[in-house]
Every structure is written in C-alpha cells, then in structure tokens.
Amino acid sequence: MDLANKNIEYCKGVGAKRADILRKELGVKSALDMLYQFPYKYIDRSRFYYIHEIDDDETYVQIIGHITEWHTVGIGATQRLSATFTDGRHTIELVWFKGVKYVKLERNVQYLLFGKPSRFNHQYNFVHPELTLMSKVQPEMTQGLEPHYNTTEGMKRAGINSKTMRTIIVQLIPELQQQGLVDTIGMDMVQRYHLMRLSEAICNIHFPKDTPTMQKARERLKFEELFYIQLQILRQMKRREQNQGFLMPIVGKAFHSFYQQHLPFPLTNAQKRVIREIQADIKSGKQMNRLLQGDVGSGKTIVALLTALLAVDNGYQACIMAPTEILANQHYQSISELLNDSDDIKIALLTGSTTAKQRQPIHEQLQSGEINILIGTHALIEDHVRFANLGLCIIDEQHRFGVAQRAKLWNKNLRPPHVLVMTATPIPRTLAMTVYGDLQVSIIDELPPGRKPVQTLHYSTLRRTTINQFIEQQIGIGRQVYVVYPLIKENEKIELQDLQNGYNQLCETFPHYRISMIHGQMRAKDKDEQMQRFVSGETQILVATTVIEVGVNVPNASVMIIENAERFGLSQLHQLRGRVGRGAEQSYCILLTKVELSKDTRKRMDIMVATNDGFRIAEADLQLRGPGDLEGTQQSGLPFELRIASLSADGPLLELARQAAMEILDADPLLEDMHNRIYKQRLDYLRIAAGNWGEIS
Ligand code: ADP
Ligand code: MG
C-alpha cells in the first residue's frame, strides 16, 4: 500500500492509542503525513568535543572523560549533587537538582557525556547531562546527525517523545525507498532550480548522511512549501483580477482645483509615484487592492485625500476609516484644513461618539450622495450606514481591522469598492509577499524635505534625575513631552498602576507644569478631552499608554520618553518614536530600561539608537522575533503554518518560489493545462488558507 494511503495506526510502533494522539496533536493520519513531520534540529553525534571548545549554550555536545570527585550540597528539597568532570585537560561542573539519590557515579571509568552546556556565574556547567559508560556506548549513538522532533504536551503525556517519533519514522524509511514518492514538483523545475527529488529529500531530512546533504534536503522541502503558498496566493490574485472594478478614468475638477490651489507643499517624488500607481489601478477596470506602506511621517494622508478626490471626480463617494476616534478626528481635522472650505467637496465625520441627532443628517446625506467623503472609525461600516455610490475605501492602519469588518465594507455597493490599505508599519518584503502577497504594494520611501532625524538615546532608570532635568529644560524652551507606558492586556491591572504611579511622580516632580493622561480604559470623551488639552498646548506633558501609538500628530511635542522600553517590540518602539520629529525642532526619543537586560533586549535598544529607518527595523524585528509576533500581523497571524521554511531566513528562496509560481500562472492562470495538473491537485490537497482579500464579498 502506498504511504499516503497507509493508516498511521498500522505503522510499526504506533497502534490505536498512539495513532489517536498523533491524529489529534499533529494531524497525522497516514504514513506520509508522518514523514512530513520534519525534525526541528539535529544533534551532531559525529564528533567529540573538548571542554575548552565549549563557547555557547545552544549546541549539544558529547565529551569523553571521567569524574574526579562529587559531593552533595544543601539538604532536603534544595539538595543538589555536584560533580567534577574532566577530559584530561580541563574540568567542568556537572549538576543534578532532581533524583540526586539515583545518580550513580564511578571514579576511574570512561564516560560519554552528552548534553547542552548552560551558563552560570560566567562559567559553563552541565545540568542533568546524559552519562553513559564508554563500555556500553552503541556505535550508532555517536554517528551522524541525530534528528529531534517537536512534541506537544499531549504527546508527552501519552509517552510519545522525540525518540518515539524517530523510531516510528526510521521504520518507514525502507518502504519509502522501495516505493518512492510521486514528486510534487515537475521535473523541469527540479532541474532548473537544482532541487533534490522528493523521496531523496524526505529520507535525508530525517537521517542525513552529512550536513551538506541535510541542507540540500531542507532547501528542497522549503522550496516546495514556499512554492505552494505562493501558487495559492497568486492564483487568488489572478482570479480576482477577473473581477470588475469601478472605472475611474477622469482626473477632474475636485482633484485639479485642490492640487493647484490648496496643496500646501510640493509632493515628494515618492508621493507622486504612488498617486500614479493608484490612478493606473482605478482606471484599469479591475478592482484595486493596494497596500500603501510609508514610514510614520512620510505623508500618507495627502495621498489618501488625493485618491479620494479622484473618486469624487468620477462620481463616487469615498470613505476613510481609522482605527481610533482620536485618529479619525485628526484625519477629519487635517483634511478639513487641507480642503480649506472648498465648497464643492462635502466631508463628514462619523465615529462612536457621533450622537443620534448628528447622525441623522449624515445618514441622509450619504444616501442622497451629498456627502463626498466620509471619515470615521468602525462606526462607518455599521449596517445602517448606507451610501449612494461608494467607490473607494481607504483603510488607515489596516491591521486593526478584521476580515469580517472588511467584508461589511465591501458590501456597501453592488461591486466591491477599490481598496487602499495604508500602513505605517513597514513590512519586510518576505512577509509582504506572503501575508499581503495578493495585494499590490506601493511604498513611500522618502520623507518630506527638511525633517531632522529623531535623536534616540537609551538610559537606565538609574539616570532618572538626568532625564527629569532634560524634561525641565525642554519644556523650558517651549516643547511638549510624551511619557509612554506599556500596556498589554494580560497585565492590565499592574500596568495601569504603573501608569498612575508615573503620573503621580511627574506631578510631584513638575508641580509647575500641567499634565494630561490617557489610557485605553478611559471613556472616549475623556480621552479626547485630555488629548485636546495636550494638542492645544494647555498641558506640557502627556502620560499615556500605547493608545497614542498610531497617527497622533502634535508637531510641538518633540520629546518622547518610553518607560519600560524593554517590554516593547521593535516595531512598536519605532511607531511610538514616530510621534515626535514632526515639527521643525530637534526631537528626542529616550528609551528607559532597567539596568540588567537580556541579550535580545539590548540588541533591540541598540538598533533603535542606531537607525531611524523603519524597513531596517522591521527586518531586524523579523530576525529577532520571527513573523508570528511581528506588529501588523499579530491579530491576523500568518494565515498558514510554515513547517520548515522561515520568512526571516529564507528570503532568497521565497523570491525564487514566487517567481516559479508566477511563471506557471502567467501561462496558465487557472491551472487547466495537463502539465500543471500535479500543482492543481496538490493545492486542493493542501488547502492553504492564504490571505483572502479577494474572497470576501
Ligand atoms: P503619515 O504618513 O505618518 O500619515 P502624515 O500624512 O500625517 O504622515 O504627514 C506628516 C506631516 O508631513 C504632516 O504634517 C504633513 O502635512 C506633512 N507633509 C506630508 N507631505 C509633505 C510634503 N510633500 N512636503 C512637506 N510636508 C509634507
Ligand atoms: Mg497617518
């Protein structure tokens, strides 16, 4: 029976009970599924180390040597056993905290020690190492690369560990070698991209004969994984391209009169380019789905407005949707100012705080078509908000909107309106190609002229006096200051307390200044009021949680203090920093942390101090944290699971895979060709849930 149809239950070493666990925990139903459980690491059993070669705590090592002495320390529950192990030249400590009674040690015999070193008091030791008498060591224990498999809690409880997995898989290998597997990638591509054949790759990913072979096998399987994800994403894009979109070929009075009379500054070249890209989309007859990336302060608002005016020129309404009331208000205000009461364009604001009385005329004028541009929060996608002819939606900071909400928006007209998604969170290219792989991407990669880069400094809280003096001095010369505290849901109580304490302390330190405070728990009305006091300059300091993260624009606020900066991710720090540096003055961002920092945290702080470039920061964030945690994808996550490829490490391979997928689809968009049947079947089998911008309607 072939491996795909062989029930996992009937594989050697499995049986009904284990099969049940494997199905539940890993989704493994067949022998083939089992073979697709790839090791997450290998331990090199092919060489022996000397103690002096140990220089990190990441790698497992094996050392031959003997024990010179041992003794127990402490009593009762805290008792531990400490032994000295030597390879003949150097010594290292071995420690056991548990089962001290059962550890049997002997002097003057050779042991094979196996384990991962840990660091303690600037020295390496081994905690609970595996010790085997040399006389009992089996040859295969010290050969080649030993595969290790992830196991879940549920599996462990049922007694299935990495070794069990290995044992089950090793017994499938002879069958695999006899039968072979039908390759999932056509011969032409295998040759063109120098890939290993599937069966060989599967054998070698589990039991590689050496490192280069293992890498070749991994590369092949990564390619396959990335290729199918890209094929799925791009197929959706191709399908959607067949959707009709509203035609907006006219550049008319609304656009021109604004451009010629009200534009307060010349556009940057990047802004001009993006507008041309958008224009090309909306007059193409296809529905636009475009992601506009631009670092904080790069000037996305004006692009949004110009796009909205194009829609108006073509007889459509536009809406601009922001994630918070503060932001919606701000968009409304800055767009009102930009339009400067031009009679022809009617705009309105609709948020959660719009009263029923105010809503009435808005609803009417939307339906009559009198309102051209509606700005607001989620409130504008509620079912009872109806448009005469909505043709364009601009979504600011899209990551705060869920799929269902977008779907609602899309149902506001007979065809889905054009969509422009704006984000200030730069997304590394590899991530954009996967998470937003079916969106067209525009990038504003140029800041308006004359900006002074924000100066970023990192201090420990021991330097608080210096910081306070700095605040005093900056307010003295007329600036305003943000003080930001982290707030994450899990810790809400403690952190709100931190915020309150910080506020109280600032009040004590600066009795002669006025201080506002905002956090997510406040009523929208109070938040707005506090914010307004800061915007108007009535208060000098704003103490806040990350509610100010997105979009807020107070040019006179040129100092940002970030408390507990170690608790923020890189992208978030960068977003926060974007709140300053908006005026003509030199701005500062001060990262405050405790003194002792982990290696990763220190790296984050160093990167922030070193660069203002959002894309570099996003790349670094991806490297440090992996895509699951990246800002902007937190809510949505990756829509599919990557088993083996990594978006941070496999950029070049991803480019290749995308190119390969694109070539196939360019020639055969619906995969109808006989030659492409393997791809179509495999896609059906994989059922990858790709970002489904196109599928909602
Ligand atoms: P973001 O991309 O963060 O939304 P904004 O649209 O809020 O940025 O723009 C930031 C600031 O830069 C605003 O005060 C805006 O008026 C100004 N601005 C935008 N484009 C230009 C430009 N081409 N020249 C000068 N100033 C600009
Ligand atoms: Mg903005």
Alpha carbon distance 460, 594 (integer Å)? 5
Identify the CA nearest to 287 among candidates 251, 240, 232: 240
Measured by CA distance, the residue closest to atom 4 of ligand 1 is: 300
What pLDDT score was predicted for residue 695? 40
Q: What is the pTM (predicted TM-score) of this model?
A: 0.69
What pLDDT score was predicted for residue 691? 45
Confidence of residue 390 (pLDDT cuts 50, 70, 90): very high
Q: How far does the centroid of ligand 1 lie from the alpha carbon of residue 529, in Å? A: 25
Q: How far does the centroid of ligand 1 lie from the alpha carbon of residue 268, in Å? A: 10
Least confident window among 73-77, 416-420, 623-627: 623-627
* Strand, helix or coil for residue 441: strand
Measured by CA distance, the residue closest to atom 13 of ligand 1 is: 299
Please identify, by atom number, the ligand 1 atom nearest to the C-alpha of residue 301. 6
Which ligand does the CA of 266 lie closest to? 1
Q: Where are the alpha helices (DSSP H) in 242-340?
A: 253-257, 269-282, 300-313, 325-339
Mean pLDDT of 156-182: 91
Q: pLDDT (tens digit, 9 = 90+) per residue, 331-341?
A: 999 899 999 86
Which ligand does the CA of 335 lie closest to? 1
Confidence of residue 262 (pLDDT cuts 50, 70, 90): confident
Q: How far does the centroid of ligand 1 lie from the alpha carbon of residue 290, in Å? A: 20
Q: How many CB atoms lie within 10 A of CB 208?
A: 20
Instruction: Flag whether pLDDT at 158 surpasses 50.
Output: yes
AA letter at 604: R
What is the signed CA dihedral for 279, 282, 284, 286, rounded to 10 degrees?
150
Pocket residue to mutate for ligand 1, from 333, 553, 576, 585, most atoms within 8 A of Cβ: 553
- Cite the beta strand spans of 352-389 per DSSP E: 373-376
Measured by CA distance, the residue closest to atom 15 of ligand 1 is: 299
Residue with structure tokens 């490829």?
645
Mean pLDDT of 213-229: 94
Q: How far does the centroid of ligand 2 lie from the alpha carbon of residue 240, in Å? A: 28
Which ligand does the CA of 574 lie closest to? 1
CATH architecture of 253-282+299-423: 3-Layer(aba) Sandwich (3.40)
**Token representation of residue 104:** 């049997």
Identify the CA nearest to 326 among candidates 538, 514, 542, 503: 542
Q: How far does the centroid of ligand 1 lie from the alpha carbon of residue 419, in Å? A: 21
Which ligand does the CA of 302 lie closest to? 1
What pLDDT score was predicted for residue 100? 79
Measured by CA distance, the residue closest to atom 5 of ligand 1 is: 299
Q: What are the distances in angstroms from CA 243 to CA 238, 289, 417, 663? A: 9, 11, 11, 21
AA letter at 601: T
Instruction: Flag whether pLDDT at 316 surpasses 90.
Output: yes
Pocket residue to mutate for ligand 1, from 273, 302, 335, most atoms within 8 A of Cβ: 302
Q: How far does the centroid of ligand 1 lie from the alpha carbon of residue 300, in Å? A: 7
Q: How far does the centroid of ligand 1 lie from the alpha carbon of residue 448, in Å? A: 7
What pLDDT score was predicted for residue 665? 94
Mean pLDDT of 381-400: 86
Q: How far does the centroid of ligand 1 lie from the alpha carbon of residue 293, in Å? A: 14
Please identify, by atom number, the ligand 1 atom nearest to the C-alpha of residue 553. 7
Which ligand does the CA of 304 lie closest to? 1
Least confident window among 221-225, 307-311, 684-688: 684-688
Q: How far does the centroid of ligand 2 lie from the alpha carbon of residue 440, in Å? A: 20
Q: How far does the centroid of ligand 2 lie from the alpha carbon of residue 600, in Å? A: 30
What pLDDT score was predicted for residue 435? 72
Instruction: Flag whether pLDDT at 468 surpasses 70.
Output: yes
Q: How far does the centroid of ligand 2 lie from the alpha carbon of residue 297, in Å? A: 7
Q: pLDDT (tens digit, 9 = 90+) per residue, 473-507?
A: 999 999 999 999 987 655 677 778 888 999 999 99
What pLDDT score was predicted for residue 292? 93
Identify the CA nearest to 456 among candidates 595, 579, 360: 579
Measured by CA distance, the residue closest to atom 16 of ligand 1 is: 299
Q: How far does the centroid of ligand 1 lie from the alpha carbon of residue 451, in Å? A: 10
* Strand, helix or coil for residue 198: helix
Long-range Cβ contacts of 577-581 (<8 Å, 24+ apart): 577/296, 577/454, 577/456, 577/608, 577/612, 578/295, 578/296, 578/297, 578/424, 579/296, 579/482, 579/548, 579/549, 579/552, 579/553, 579/554, 580/454, 580/482, 581/297, 581/451, 581/452, 581/453, 581/454
CATH fold, domain 455-611, is: Rossmann fold (3.40.50)
Confidence of residue 119 (pLDDT cuts 50, 70, 90): confident
Q: pLDDT (tens digit, 9 = 90+) per residue, 104-115?
A: 899 989 999 989
Which ligand does the CA of 443 lie closest to? 1
Q: pLDDT (tens digit, 9 = 90+) per residue, 496-553?
A: 888 899 999 999 999 999 999 988 788 878 888 898 899 899 999 999 987 765 556 7
Pocket residue to mutate for ligand 1, from 258, 265, 329, most atoms within 8 A of Cβ: 265
Please identify, by atom number, the ligand 1 atom nearest to the C-alpha of residue 298. 2
Instruction: Flag whether pLDDT at 85 surpasses 90.
Output: yes
Same topology, domains 47-142 and 455-611? Answer is no
Measured by CA distance, the residue closest to atom 25 of ligand 1 is: 448
Instruction: Flag whether pLDDT at 558 surpasses 60.
Output: yes
Q: What are the distances in angstroms from CA 295 to CA 287, 299, 453, 459, 550? A: 26, 8, 13, 25, 12
Pocket residue to mutate for ligand 1, from 262, 275, 300, 301, most atoms within 8 A of Cβ: 301
Average pLDDT, the chain: 87
Percent of the chain with pLDDT over 70: 92
Instruction: Flag whether pLDDT at 633 surpasses 60.
Output: no
Mean pLDDT of 286-295: 89
AA letter at 397: E
Percent of the chain with pLDDT over 90: 53
Which ligand does the CA of 269 lie closest to? 1
Measured by CA distance, the residue closest to atom 18 of ligand 1 is: 299
- Which of 446-455, 540-549, 655-664 is modeled with the greatest confidence? 655-664
Q: Kindly state which CATH superfamily the domain 47-142 is placed in.
A: Nucleic acid-binding proteins (2.40.50.140)
CA max distance for the chain: 96
What pLDDT score was predicted for residue 474? 96
* Ligand 1 site, CB within 6 A: 265, 267-268, 271, 294, 296-302, 424, 448, 553, 582
Mean pLDDT of 400-421: 78
What pLDDT score was predicted for residue 220? 97
608, 2 contact by CB (below 8 A): no
Q: How many CB atoms lie within 10 A of CB 686?
A: 15
Q: Who has greater pLDDT, 289 or 17? A: 17
Measured by CA distance, the residue closest to atom 27 of ligand 1 is: 448
Pocket residue to mutate for ligand 1, from 298, 330, 375, most atoms within 8 A of Cβ: 298
Q: How far does the centroid of ligand 1 lie from the alpha carbon of residue 302, in Å? A: 7
Instruction: Flag whether pLDDT at 326 surpasses 50.
Output: yes
Confidence of residue 282 (pLDDT cuts 50, 70, 90): very high
Q: Where are the domains of the chain?
A: 1-42+145-180, 47-142, 253-282+299-423, 455-611
Q: pLDDT (tens digit, 9 = 90+) per residue, 126-142?
A: 999 988 899 887 665 66
What pLDDT score was predicted for residue 199? 95
